[in-house]
């Protein structure tokens, strides 16, 4: 969560596409598929500007990333609430 906030605040990465391109670069990932998957999971366009300061948006993004990385998202909402409150 902190790293995604840094991407937005320090580097001005505002869209799902921008964020995932930084998070999962082409030299290590199928970034295009990653972007499409995360966007679809969030019901947004890859070029949608996301407000990571918004708790629900950040948690939705993180859940989508976890699911893409692991093929599942095993954490309950309490874990995300706790993580968000720590940052």
Please, which contacts does 50-59 make with residues 24 or more away whose CB atoms are closer than 8 Å?
A: 50/14, 50/15, 50/16, 50/19, 52/4, 52/5, 52/8, 53/5, 55/84, 58/1, 58/4, 58/5, 58/84, 59/84
Which helix or strand (DSSP H or E) is residue 40 part of? helix 31-42
pLDDT value of position 81: 95
Give per-residue pLDDT as tens, 37-74: 999 999 999 999 999 999 999 999 999 999 999 999 99
Q: Which two tokens stand for residue 6?
A: 């840094």
pLDDT value of position 55: 97
Give per-residue pLDDT as tens, 6-49: 999 999 999 999 999 999 999 999 999 999 999 999 999 999 99
């Amino acid at each position: 969560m902190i790293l995604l906030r840094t991407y937005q605040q320090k580097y001005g990465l505002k869209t799902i596409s921008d964020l995932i391109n930084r998070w999962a670069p082409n030299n290590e990932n199928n970034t295009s598929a990653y972007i499409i998957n995360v966007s679809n999971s969030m019901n947004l366009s890859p070029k949608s500007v996301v407000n990571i300061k918004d708790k629900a948006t950040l948690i939705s993004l993180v859940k989508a990333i976890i699911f893409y990385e692991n093929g599942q998202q095993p954490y309950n909402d309490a874990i995300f609430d706790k993580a968000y409150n720590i940052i």
